[in-house]
Amino acid sequence: MRGDRGAAHDDFCVLCDCCGVRGEKLLTVSPLSNHPRGIVISVRAVPRAGRSGIAGTRGDALLVRLAATPVEGAANEELITVLARALHVPKRGLSLIAGERARDKRVLVEGVALADVEARLSDILR
């Protein structure tokens, strides 16, 4: 049954009954990317949440819920705090490089290898 639609279909099939891979992801999109100064994490921030923490992924971004309101940078500060705790790095090693006033943000993590960030996030997302 699998492969009846060609190789291109198999490469991009995410959840497809026709290939017999129900529930298995063949193509995953990571919120992590390399940067000359470290690792960049794509984040989807949800301010005014009941409590702060990493809540999973949404599309190609890490979903982070923040109890702070998006007023005068409070939510951005809390985002840095949440990520620093989760990744076991000092807050000074994280910086917001895009999306200061948007829900979709990009955070640079300096001084940490990609494999370490992937391992720490996979432990949290289990």
Give pLDDT tens digits for 42-89. 999 999 999 999 999 999 999 999 999 999 999 999 999 999 999 999
Residues 9-36: pLDDT tens digits? 443 333 444 444 444 333 356 899 999 9
Locus of tokens 């298995």? 24
CATH of 31-125, picked from 3.30.1200.10, 2.40.50.100, 3.40.980.10, 1.10.357.10, is 3.30.1200.10
- pLDDT value of position 24: 38
Report DSSP letters for 53-84, one per residue: EEEEEETTEEEEE-SS-SSTTHHHHHHHHHHH
pTM: 0.76
